[in-house]
Structure formats: structure tokens, C-alpha cells
């Protein structure tokens, strides 16, 4: 459904607001004219298959123009399974299992747009988008912390469903003569729901005192439900002036934008127990004064709770941008934006929402968890300066200075949790400050009939960088004879961090020099980034050196095209894999990934299309042509997430053989047919 993708490198909070510290990706959905090649109406259909994850996709759309009206309707259906990679061996319940967890998903979505333009100056539009995604999985690789399960079955089963509804309406005025060249208003509303369910049968170990054998007695079934609702409302007003001549200062066009938004966050958890009498010694179990025979259901209990109260976050933003043409070859952009955030929670329902957590902590002294009402105000300034020099079409030089910030999200700042077994705490940090960044970027681009190129180098400096800290907390209880040490995690601000990197791309058309090579083109693209925080931890989310070299041939009438591409996946240097862990005594230690995990890899892809007439296009490709087994850095850094970090020594001890389920896809095929009318 996307018609274009806009990638912005570096800090971009002036344009995108909160969260745009190191870059943003924006998608623009299709409009009616994207489906209409000629005439007053058009249609599009796509059916495809991708062997990477057994993806089956179907897309259909229609659009029409009638007088001053434009209309569009698109629908999609996607079904798939887990990644088809180099996982192997028997499926066993083991965190270092070499098999991936079985997964299936189905997603339906549709998009509708309607626009009315009575004349060239005015345009009104409305859009509606809906998405429904369901995913089911058997989890064999992550053991639940609160249930003893049986061999031969997964640790637990899961079912997730996410629903999204978006509605927007806009008005646009344009004029070539008025002082205000363009005025736009946009109202947007989105609500997202997540319903996550996990369930498992749990057992009690039973040891035979005579022969030492162990059997498992079925004790019941446990279901955990989590519901989350996020609602976003946004209103944006913007006005652009026509070019204003200021003599020696050049021509200036001003943009003033005001944005206000409100986010509502609410979540709820429900734990349901269905216990079964499992006392095989007496043959019965007494529960709440009632006798239940061995194997008999003892009813159902449910506990509802939330880790945070319903929270609202209000945002007001004002920005001013000056786009100046200083000379025919020199352009300047200057912008300033201020954002104000106000975060509050529904304190009136605090007892109902946090009662469960308060109950767990009522006798624990030393675990200072905060249940006070949330009343928090934060703000941030964003700046933008771009100087572009374009002496020739083949040489464009630009320097960009920009700043970014990110207000801590609700879970980073307010989420808190206490687990009774194994005992650990997730602690909120009400004093968490917004992250801030300053970006410097130098870009060189150019284009001729023989080539097009781009090179961009950037440096980002972060302050108050948010990082997850682990540690041990000493607590006591009135009935404990000695103090107890609990593991905890919390988000903290680090003094600073830095990120440096580059992006480069090149496209060559050799027929400009040698006509005999007509139809042949060469392409290449490369990227690299590295970063580190003041705590000594590497920025694990950034990618090492990666790139590709491609060769394409397009026949004279563009009826068919063949592409060959070589991909380079370079390993991350060991010095850039630093992360925090704890030793057996609970002390913080700095660790790095083993050298054996970090290997370069090279893969090859072939893909092509063929047009039948003017309406049908066939596409096909084979990827990872030589079936190369490899990891990308994103695959390996999964080992440092909280769910796996406690067992990272098992992976490091087993070496690369334990990483089979994290590998990239095996050789796979893709095929599609597209029809345009």
C-alpha cells in the first residue's frame, strides 16, 4: 500500500518530533492517481509467494476519477510462518535449541481514500485504514519463570492479535498570488489494540523414594492475558508564504507549523488458574474447606491487575522554518521547534490497578517502588540548519546541522514489576530525563546521463543517553532471618554517547560512453556505523559495514529485465560488541562477543521481471543463491535482550552450533504476478 519511502538520516526532531534521534523512516500510502495510468479509472492486483517465511501475499486495488472527485480502495492479505533458515535437529525444550519456534501469522488490511478538489486552490481529503494481524506460536526456547512443564510439549503456547484503526481528514489551500502560498490542516486519529495470550499445563515433580525415579503430576492449566490499548489524536496546522525578496539577503519562504497531540495508554493483565488435585499420597486435596479427589478440577481463580495506571501524554509543538535562496547556487534552511509534554495518570483508579503489585511488596523492605500519582512536564528544543551549494548538476554539496530528542516512553519511565520466583524487580525511574542528540552531516551528490552518486558522512553526539542497568538490591522481610538479595533492572541516563557512520551509493550507465552496452547498468550501495556510550557499552543497535554490488540488463523496449547482486555482510569488530553483564557474585562486568561468532559473509541474488502485453508483469527471484549459512549482526545481538541475557554463557560455551536458529534464510525463491488495468 506504500507509494514511497522517505529515509531521513541523523537527528530529525525538527520535522518528526519526539523520538527522531538518529533518523526516521516515513511511508506514504498510495493515492488514486498511482493506480490510474490513463483514463478515468484503474485497477491493480498482485499475487505473490516468498519462500523466506513461506509468505503468501494478495493485494487488490481500484481507483477512479470523476469530475472533482478521487477515490481509492485497496485490500491486502498476508499469511506466513517462521523464518526458513539453517535451524536443524530435533525440536527440544532448550534455550539453546537449534530449532526455531513454530509460528504462523495472518494479516488483513484495507485502505480507503476519498478526495474532493472543487478548483485548483482547494482540496479536501479523507482516509481510513484498518489492519488485523493474528500470530500463533509454540514456544520451546524460553522457559516460563513460574511453571514446571512436561517434556515433549512446548513450554507454553501463545496467541497474539493486534488491531489498528486509523482515520484522517485534511484540507489544503494553494495560491500563486497570495502571501500565504499554501495552508494545510490535518486531523488524525489512531487506536491500536494488542491482545496477547499465553497458556501452559503445569506439573509437580514426584520422586519415588525407593528407586529414585521422577514422574510428573498434572497440577492444572495456567492462562495469562494481556490487553493494551493506545489511542492517538493529532491536529496539525501549517502555513507557507510565497517567496519574499529581501534584496541582498536573497528570497525567503517561511513555514509556520503548530501541532497538538494526545496519547492515551492503558493496559490490563489477567492471570487465570485452573488447578487440579494432585496429591497422590492421600488421594485427595483439601482446598478452601472442600475435598477434591485426585485428578479432579478445583475450580477457577482469576487475578486482574496492571503494572501502570492509565496514562495520558499531551504534546504541543510550534515550529518556524525559513527556506532561503541566497543565490542561484546557494540555498539555506534554518528552523527552530519547541515541544511541550505533559504526562499524567489516572490516580483515582490507582488502588484498583496497582493493588496486585502492592500486595506482593507489602512485606518487602528496601524495594522502593513508586506508586505516587504521575504529574510530569518535559520540553525540548529542536534546531535545523542546512546549507546547500549546487554549482553543477554533477556536484551538490550540503552541510546539515540538526538536533533531536526523545522523551522516555511510558514503560521506560513508569513500568515496575516484582516476580516472586525467580525473585527479581523491574524498577521505574521517575527522574529519567529525555535523550538529546546533535547531528553533523556532510553530503555530496550528483547526477549526469552516465552516473548518479551519493556519499554522506555523519556524526551524532548524544547526552542523557538512556540505557538499561542491571544490579542487585538488598531487601528484608519481617519474617526473614537474614536479608535477601534481589536482581533488578532499571533504565538510567548515561552522560553521553556518540555515533559515527556513512552511507554511499553509486549508479553507472556505461552506454553513455559505449553505446554497445545499451541496457546495462551497474549499482552499488554501502553503509557503516559505530557508537559507544559513556558507560563503556557499545551501541549494539547500529550495523557494521554492509553493502552490495549489482549488475542489471534491461532490454531496449523495457519488456524484461535481469538483475544479479552480490551482498557483503561484514562482521562487527569485537571492540564494538561491548555490553554489561553480571558475574556469579552479582558484580557488573563488561563483556564482548566471542571472535568465533563474528564472521564475514557473502551472498548472491538473481531476480527478474517480464511484461506480457501492457497489463501483466511476472516477477521471480532466487536469493542466497549458493545457500550460504551466515548471521547478520542483528541476529547475534538478540542474545543481549533481557529474555536471553541470563543464559548468554550457554550460547558462548556452545559456540556457533547453538546459533543455528538465529541464522539468516536459506536459499529461497520468490515469484509474483501483477496485473494493471
Q: What is the pLDDT of residue 354?
A: 57
Mean pLDDT, the chain, rounded, equals: 88
Q: What is the pLDDT of residue 426?
A: 81
The yes-or-no verdict on residue 36 having pLDDT over 90 is no
Q: What is the pLDDT of residue 10?
A: 59
List Cα–Cα distances, 615 to 17, 559, 673, 675, in angstroms. 42, 11, 11, 5
Task: Among 264-273, 340-349, 541-550, 558-567, name the one with the lowest average pLDDT.
Answer: 340-349
The yes-or-no verdict on residue 467 having pLDDT over 90 is no
| Structure confidence by residue, pLDDT tens digits, 479-497 | 556 777 777 788 888 888 8
Q: How far apart are CA 40 and CA 196, in angstroms?
A: 45
* Domain range list for the chain: 540-677
End-to-end Cα distance, the chain: 17
Q: How far apart are CA 559 and CA 176, in angstroms?
A: 41
- More confident of the two residues 208 and 508: 508
Q: What is the pLDDT of residue 214?
A: 74
Q: What is the pLDDT of residue 668?
A: 98
The yes-or-no verdict on residue 368 having pLDDT over 70 is no
Across 113-124, average pLDDT? 96
What is the DSSP pairing of strand 484-508 with strand 423-427?
parallel
The yes-or-no verdict on residue 12 having pLDDT over 70 is no
Q: DSSP string of 75-86?
A: EEEEEEES--SS
Q: Which residue has the cell 504529574?
A: 375
At residue 14 the predicted structure's pLDDT band, cuts being 50, 70 and 90, is confident
The yes-or-no verdict on residue 672 having pLDDT over 90 is yes
At residue 446 the predicted structure's pLDDT band, cuts being 50, 70 and 90, is very high
The yes-or-no verdict on residue 398 having pLDDT over 70 is yes
The yes-or-no verdict on residue 352 having pLDDT over 80 is no
| Cell numbers describing residue 78 | 498476508
pTM of the predicted protein model: 0.86
At residue 355 the predicted structure's pLDDT band, cuts being 50, 70 and 90, is low
- CB 401 within 8 Å of CB 382: no
Partner residues linked to 392 by β-bridges: 395
Q: DSSP string of 3-63?
A: EEEEEEES--HHHH-TT-SSEEEEEEE--HHHH-SSSSEEEEEEEEEETTTTEEEEEEEEE
Q: What is the pLDDT of residue 51?
A: 96
| Cell numbers describing residue 284 | 485427595
Q: What is the pLDDT of residue 70?
A: 95
The yes-or-no verdict on residue 269 having pLDDT over 70 is yes
At residue 318 the predicted structure's pLDDT band, cuts being 50, 70 and 90, is very high
Q: What is the pLDDT of residue 640?
A: 82
Q: What is the pLDDT of residue 6?
A: 65
* Closest of 236, 246, 404, 406 to residue 322, by C-alpha: 246
Which residues lie closer than 8 Å to 302 by C-beta, 6 or more apart? 270, 271, 272, 273
| Cell numbers describing residue 136 | 500463533
Three-state DSSP at 639 gives helix
Q: How far apart are CA 655 and CA 658, in angstroms?
A: 6
Across 58-65, average pLDDT? 96
| Structure confidence by residue, pLDDT tens digits, 322-337 | 999 999 999 999 999 9
Select, from the ranges 212-226, 261-275, 276-290, the one with the highest average predicted confidence (pLDDT). 261-275
- CB 171 within 8 Å of CB 185: yes
- CB 357 within 8 Å of CB 303: no
Please report, rounded to a whole number, the percentage of residues in the chain having pLDDT higher than 90. 54
Partner residues linked to 528 by β-bridges: 502
Across 180-204, average pLDDT? 93
Three-state DSSP at 495 gives strand
Strands in 51-121 per DSSP E: 55-66, 69-81, 103-119
List Cα–Cα distances, 320 to 19, 186, 244, in angstroms. 19, 18, 15
* Closest of 523, 524, 566, 568 to residue 545, by C-alpha: 568
Partner residues linked to 299 by β-bridges: none
Q: What is the pLDDT of residue 142?
A: 78
Q: What is the pLDDT of residue 7?
A: 66
- What count of other Cβ atoms lies within 10 Å of the Cβ of residue 675? 14
Rg from Cα positions in the chain: 29
| 3-state SS, one letter per residue, for 310-336 | CEEEEEEEEEEEEEEEEECCEEEEEEE
At residue 230 the predicted structure's pLDDT band, cuts being 50, 70 and 90, is very high
Q: What is the dihedral of CA 367, 373, 375, 378, to 10 degrees?
A: 30
Q: How far apart are CA 158 and CA 251, in angstroms?
A: 60
* Closest of 599, 654, 663 to residue 635, by C-alpha: 663
- More confident of the two residues 613 and 563: 563
Across 49-72, average pLDDT? 96
Q: What is the pLDDT of residue 303?
A: 83
List Cα–Cα distances, 456 to 397, 443, 459, 504, 631, in angstroms. 10, 4, 10, 6, 27
At residue 555 the predicted structure's pLDDT band, cuts being 50, 70 and 90, is very high
The yes-or-no verdict on residue 658 having pLDDT over 90 is no
The yes-or-no verdict on residue 563 having pLDDT over 60 is yes
Q: What is the pLDDT of residue 117?
A: 95
Task: Among 63-72, 268-277, 381-390, name the one with the lowest average pLDDT.
Answer: 268-277
Which residues lie closer than 8 Å to 44 by C-beta, 6 or more apart? 35, 59, 60, 61, 62, 74, 674, 675, 676, 677
Task: Among 69-78, 340-349, 400-409, name the one with the lowest average pLDDT.
Answer: 340-349
At residue 366 the predicted structure's pLDDT band, cuts being 50, 70 and 90, is low
Across 307-330, average pLDDT? 92
| Cell numbers describing residue 591 | 563483556
Q: What is the pLDDT of residue 53?
A: 96
Across 315-319, average pLDDT? 95
Q: What is the pLDDT of residue 648?
A: 82
Across 128-147, average pLDDT? 86
- CB 443 within 8 Å of CB 388: no
At residue 420 the predicted structure's pLDDT band, cuts being 50, 70 and 90, is low
At residue 371 the predicted structure's pLDDT band, cuts being 50, 70 and 90, is confident
Q: Tally the residues of the chain.
A: 677
Q: How far apart are CA 545 and CA 573, in angstroms?
A: 10
| 3-state SS, one letter per residue, for 475-531 | EECCCCCCCEEEEEEEEEEEEEEEEEEEEEEEEECHHHCCHHHCCEEEEEEEEEEEE
Amino acid at each position: 500500500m506504500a507509494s514511497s519511502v522517505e529515509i531521513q538520516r541523523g537527528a530529525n526532531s525538527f520535522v518528526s518530533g519526539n523520538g527522531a534521534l538518529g533518523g526516521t523512516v516515513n511511508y506514504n500510502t498510495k493515492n488514486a492517481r498511482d493506480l490510474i495510468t490513463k483514463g478515468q479509472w484503474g485497477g491493480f492486483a498482485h499475487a505473490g509467494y516468498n519462500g523466506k517465511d513461506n509468505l503468501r501475499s494478495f493485494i487488490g486495488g481500484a481507483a477512479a476519477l470523476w469530475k472533482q472527485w478521487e477515490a481509492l480502495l485497496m485490500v491486502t492479505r498476508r499469511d506466513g510462518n517462521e523464518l526458513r533458515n539453517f535451524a536443524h535437529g530435533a525440536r527440544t525444550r532448550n534455550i539453546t535449541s537449534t530449532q526455531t519456534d513454530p509460528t504462523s501469522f495472518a494479516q488483513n488490511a484495507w485502505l480507503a481514500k476519498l478526495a474532493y478538489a472543487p478548483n485548483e486552490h482547494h482540496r479536501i481529503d479523507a482516509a481510513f485504514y484498518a489492519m488485523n494481524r493474528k500470530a500463533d506460536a509454540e514456544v520451546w526456547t524460553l522457559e516460563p519463570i513460574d511453571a514446571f512443564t512436561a517434556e515433549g510439549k512446548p513450554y507454553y503456547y501463545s496467541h497474539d492479535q493486534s488491531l489498528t484503526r486509523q482515520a484522517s481528514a485534511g484540507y489544503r489551500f494553494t495560491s500563486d498570488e497570495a502571501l500565504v502560498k499554501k495552508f494545510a490542516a490535518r486531523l488524525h486519529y489512531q487506536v491500536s489494540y494488542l491482545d496477547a495470550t499465553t497458556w501452559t499445563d503445569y506439573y509437580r515433580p514426584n520422586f519415588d523414594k525407593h528407586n529414585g525415579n521422577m514422574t510428573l503430576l498434572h497440577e492444572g492449566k495456567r492462562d495469562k492475558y494481556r490487553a493494551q490499548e493506545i489511542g492517538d489524536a493529532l491536529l496539525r496546522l501549517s502555513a507557507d508564504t510565497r517567496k519574499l525578496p529581501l534584496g541582498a539577503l536573497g528570497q525567503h519562504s517561511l513555514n509556520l507549523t503548530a501541532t497538538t497531540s494526545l496519547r492515551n495508554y492503558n493496559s490490563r493483565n489477567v492471570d487465570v488458574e485452573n488447578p487440579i488435585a494432585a496429591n497422590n499420597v492421600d488421594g485427595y486435596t483439601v482446598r478452601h474447606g472442600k475435598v477434591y479427589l485426585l485428578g479432579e478440577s478445583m475450580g477457577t481463580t482469576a487475578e486482574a491487575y496492571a503494572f501502570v495506571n492509565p496514562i495520558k501524554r499531551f504534546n504541543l509543538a510550534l515550529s518556524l522554518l525559513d527556506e532561503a535562496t541566497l543565490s542561484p547556487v546557494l540555498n539555506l534552511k534554518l528552523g527552530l521547534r519547541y515541544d511541550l509534554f505533559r504526562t499524567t495518570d489516572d490516580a483515582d483508579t490507582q488502588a484498583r490497578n496497582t493493588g496486585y503489585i502492592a500486595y506482593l511488596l507489602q512485606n518487602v523492605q528496601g524495594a522502593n517502588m513508586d506508586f505516587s500519582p504521575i504529574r510530569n512536564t518535559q520540553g525540548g528544543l529542536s534546531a535545523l540548519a542546512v546549507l546547500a551549494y549546487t554549482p553543477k548538476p554533477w556536484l551538490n554539496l550540503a552541510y546539515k546541522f540538526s538536533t533531536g530528542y526523545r522523551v522516555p516512553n511510558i514503560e521506560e519511565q513508569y513500568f515496575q514489576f516484582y516476580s516472586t520466583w525467580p525473585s527479581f524487580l523491574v524498577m521505574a525511574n521517575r527522574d529519567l530525563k529525555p535523550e538529546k542528540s546533535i547531528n553533523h552531516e556532510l553530503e555530496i551528490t550528483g547526477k549526469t546521463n552516465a552516473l548518479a552518486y551519493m556519499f554522506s558522512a555523519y556524526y551524532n553526539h548524544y547526552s542523557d543517553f538512556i540505557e538499561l542497568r542491571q544490579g542487585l538490591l538488598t531487601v528484608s522481610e519481617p519474617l526473614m532471618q537474614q536479608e535477601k538479595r534481589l536482581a533488578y533492572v532499571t533504565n538510567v541516563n548515561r552522560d553521553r554517547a556518540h555515533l559515527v557512520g556513512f552511507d554511499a551509493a553509486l549508479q553507472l550507465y556505461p552506454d553513455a560512453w559505449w553505446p554497445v552496452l545499451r541496457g546495462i547498468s551497474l549499482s552499488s550501495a554501502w553503509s557503516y556505523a559505530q557508537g559507544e556510550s559513556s558507560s563503556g557499552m557499545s551501541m549494539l543497535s547500529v550495523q557494521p559495514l554492509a553493502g552490495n554490488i549489482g549488475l542489471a540488463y534491461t532490454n531496449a523496449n523495457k519488456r524484461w529485465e535481469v538483475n544479479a547482486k552480490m551482498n557483503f555482510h561484514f562482521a562487527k569488530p569485537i571492540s564494538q560488541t561491548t555490553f554489561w553483564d553480571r558475574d556469579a557474585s552479582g558484580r557488573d562486568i563488561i563483556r564482548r562477543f566471542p571472535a568465533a561468532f563474528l564472521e564475514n559473509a557473502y551472498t548472491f541474488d538473481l531476480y527478474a521481471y517480464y511484461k506480457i502485453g501492457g497489463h501483466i508483469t511476472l516477477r521471480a527471484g532466487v536469493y542466497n543463491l549458493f545457500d550460504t549459512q551466515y548471521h547478520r549482526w542483528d541476529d547475534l545481538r538478540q542474545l543481549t535482550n533481557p529474555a536471553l541475557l541470563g543464559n548468554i554463557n550457554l550460547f558462548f560455551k556452545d559456540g556457533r552450533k547453538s546459533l543455528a536458529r538465529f541464522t539468516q534464510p536459506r536459499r529461497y525463491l520468490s515469484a509474483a504476478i501483477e496485473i494493471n488495468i
